[in-house]
Amino acid sequence: MIEVIWGTSQEKPISSRLLAEDLAKDAALDGYLYLGYPVIGTPTGPLKLDGLLASPQLGLIAFDLVEANEIGDFQSRQDEIASMLEVRLKPHPGLKNGRQLKFDIHVVTYCPAKPTHPESNDPYFIASRPELLGLINQFTWTESASVYKTLVGAIQVVTSIRAGKQKREPKKEDSRGAKLKRVEDSIANLDQHQSQAVIETVEGVQRIRGLAGSGKTIVLALKVAYLHAQNPTWRIGVTFNTRSLKEQFRRLINSFTIEQTGAEPDWDCIDIINAWGGPGDKERDGIYHKFCRANQIPYLDFGMAKGKFGEGKEFQGACAEALAAAKEPTDLYDMILIDEAQDLPVEFLRLCFVSLPPPHRLVYAYDELQSLTGSSMPPAEELFGTSADGKPLVRLNQEDGGPRQDIILEKCYRNSGPLLATAHALGFGIYREKGLVQIFDDDNLWTDVGYVVEEGALEPATAVTLARTTQTSPEFLQNHSPVEDLILFQKFDSAADQAKWLVQSIRNDILEQELRPEDIVVINPNPITTKREVALPREMLFSSGINSELAGVSTAADVFSKAGAVTFTGVFRAKGNEAGMVYIMNAQDCASGWDKTATALGRNRLFTAISRSKAWVRVLGLGPNMDVLTNEWRALHENDYKLKFTYPTMAEKKELRIINKVAGGKAKTRRTTVKQQREQLLQAVQRGEVDADQLILELEALKKTGKQK
């Protein structure tokens, strides 16, 4: 089966869709059809490919699409496409013998609206709709499966994006520095599913959900670079809740644009911009401030908003007031992308939505378990409001044969299976003595985010066992160290004892284990106490000759870490960042709160802190509440890092915090899940992983059993 990855194809939408439909008619064909991708840098500017097919049966076929009747000089276009593709692929050693590619690059001009056209003469191929399949089935792929895999990776061109910024040269083979180098080398490439999320583009709203470490921030950054290359005159805004993400976004967008087009992006067309912002230079500006200025309405700073709307409702109130005042909002951008949407008020997302011209190109990414505000993300159908006739302004429909509006990234490329299970177990309260704290609205999300049901079922009042798989939590993330070293919980009698142990451990990491200071992040979950709580260990480190920084205080507001310094931070500034070794101090503050919302909020802070780690986590704390967390973690450890609990009933769910709310009821989500499972099963049959004949026999037997009942 041909899997279509729908890039932006605004210039040739009809021929793009017809090409996808015609290739789908041949059920025996396998491979990937990229539409509106890739973009290749040339001496005269970016070359935007209309379509590219990578097939294990047919090889590599580029398509030159003719939208109307004017075919023009198709031979010159084909020459340029073939030449630039060859330049793009030759740097990959696995694709060439000596100086030549191992395979031919075929180029086909596809003209669905013109039945009469010049004849095909090798290497210049041309086809209308009736001729297409007959023509391309003349091509063959004779190389190995490994060469094909390398080809697909080269097309998706997301190499080295995640690699460390500085080259590591550890001297000890088994030091933590050496282990971290191996981990970073393994995660330097995005997986195929993430790459598709980068490319797939919808004319409207797109939602991206995923676990911590699944690559949401990277996907958004690369999507900006791709769309900017395709649409260089678009004004694109990228916004977020954590200011320290700004430099990360700039680096990723810049790197990927250069890799795609050979040139730096036009920064006059891309704003990496704060959510709130204020008067001053461009670096201080924000979406809300721009909205107020463009629509000539009063702007509220934090102090004014706090006085007017109360503590905790500052940004929500300011955005709501601005929305009410702007009767016909001015367009700010052609497209807006929002990271960390779970920490931004609904009113801000609506403000972004109305700041865009139709079709309201908005991409928002979130993981509700990382919510640090206590708010819950409503379904898209509720999030963006309704029209005058009461109908939702946004519906996340998944059209057959179209780009996905709702993308879930289930594979985690930062946290090992045991580490992620620890974060989830504590975040949900799986082994909490008083029971669960929060739960997914849609039961199927457990499998969507990469768990499998080992025992029981995701049904009310039913015992269930959930486990991570090697597909969604790659083994290389944990095999480098014993599980006892991956995660450690440590209780202390006093803050002084905690600081002493922390400093000794950091000294060992740097002096003996070959970690760099910037590989280490120390997180204090309570943002109010962070500056005070980190003072003692920072002073002790300084006395030991080790530099440290307090993110956003001793560094610029937009800088998270500096080379040669250990980073101390509150959990809010840690969002979107990662480190090889993460220390969480005063974890006891996360165990419980005065009500279920406060308890869930504390648990989410702990989840967020744990999930910053690429390798090792040390959870430190004091007092009885630290015993609570340690006991829960020990129960998880004894259960081999599997989540074992009794699934809540509907009545019990009402007492919990519900996350990832869905619209349309259970029937809709079940239909969606069944459809996805059906497609996965068909692909498994095609790959030979499932015996189709045996499956048919089993289905027929099941059908007879149903009739008998």
| pLDDT of 707 over the 50 cut | no
* Average pLDDT taken over every residue of the chain: 87
Residue 111 has phi, psi (to 5 degrees) of: -125, 80
pLDDT band at 520 (very low <50, low <70, confident <90, very high): very high
Residue 676: the pLDDT is 45
Q: How far apart are CA 468 and CA 447, in angstroms?
A: 9
What mean pLDDT is predicted for residues 138-160? 83
- pLDDT band of 201, cuts 50, 70, 90: confident
pLDDT digits (tens, 9 = 90+) for 312-371: 899 999 999 999 999 999 999 999 999 989 889 999 999 999 999 999 999 999 887 666
Rounded Cα–Cα distance for residues 503 and 486 (Å):
19
| Sequence letter at residue 220 | L
Q: Average pLDDT for residues 657-675, to the nearest whole number?
A: 56
Q: Quote the pLDDT of residue 673.
A: 46
Residue predicted with more confidence, 679 or 535: 535
Q: What is the pLDDT of residues 587-610, one digit of tens each?
A: 999 999 888 888 999 999 999 999
Mean pLDDT of 61-85: 93
- Third-level CATH fold of 178-409: Rossmann fold (3.40.50)
How confident is the model at residue 616, as a pLDDT? 97
| Mean pLDDT of the region 701-706 | 58
Q: What is the pLDDT of residues 472-482, one digit of tens each?
A: 888 889 999 99
Strand partners, 567: 521, 549
Select 417-659's CATH number: 3.30.950.10, 3.40.1190.20, 3.40.50.280, 3.40.50.300.
Answer: 3.40.50.300
β-sheet bridge partners, residue 579 = 613
Q: Give the mean model confidence (pLDDT) for residues 149-177.
A: 74
Asked if 225 contacts 41 with a C-beta cutoff of 8 angstroms, the reply is: no
Is 253 or 166 the better-scoring residue by pLDDT?
A: 253
Q: What is the pLDDT of residues 94-109, one digit of tens each?
A: 999 998 999 999 999 9
Q: How confident is the model at residue 585 (pLDDT cuts 50, 70, 90)?
A: very high
Specify the length of the chain in residues.
709
Q: What is the pLDDT of residue 198?
A: 86
Per-residue confidence (pLDDT) for residue 488, from 0 to 100? 97
CA nearest neighbour of 672 among 494, 508, 463, 443: 443
Ordered by start, the domain boundaries in the chain are 2-156, 178-409, 417-659, 667-708
Q: Do domains 178-409 and 417-659 have the same CATH topology?
A: yes
Q: What does the alpha-carbon distance between residue 488 and residue 476 come to, in Å, rounded to a whole number? A: 19
- The amino acid sitting at 28 is A
Per residue in 523-565, pLDDT (tens digit) is: 999 988 999 999 999 999 999 999 999 998 888 777 788 999 9
Pick 513 or 700 by higher pLDDT: 513
Q: Is the pLDDT of residue 675 over 50?
A: no
pLDDT in tens, 216-239: 888 899 899 999 988 999 999 999
354 compared with 1, residue with greater pLDDT = 354
Alpha-carbon distance of 416 to 614, in angstroms, equals: 8
For residue 412, name the pLDDT band (cuts at 50, 70, 90). Answer: confident
Q: Name the residue with higher pLDDT: 701 or 153.
A: 153
pLDDT in tens, 263-318: 899 999 999 999 999 888 888 899 999 999 999 999 999 999 999 999 889 999 99
- Residue 664 confidence (pLDDT) above 60: no
pLDDT reported for residue 106: 97
Cα–Cα distance measured from residue 162 to residue 150, given in angstroms and rounded to the nearest whole number: 18
Select the highest-mean-pLDDT range: 43-52, 228-237, 626-635, 673-682. 626-635
1-39 burial by CB neighbour count: b if 16+ within 10 A, else e? bbebbbbbbeebeebbbbbbebbeebeebbbbbbbbbbb
Q: For the domain covering 2-156, report its CATH number.
A: 3.40.1350
CA separation for the pair 705, 95 (Å, rounded)? 52
Mean pLDDT (whole number) for 485-504: 97
Give me 204's structure tokens. Answer: 């409207």
Whether the pLDDT of residue 409 is over 90: the answer is no
pLDDT of residue 666: 42
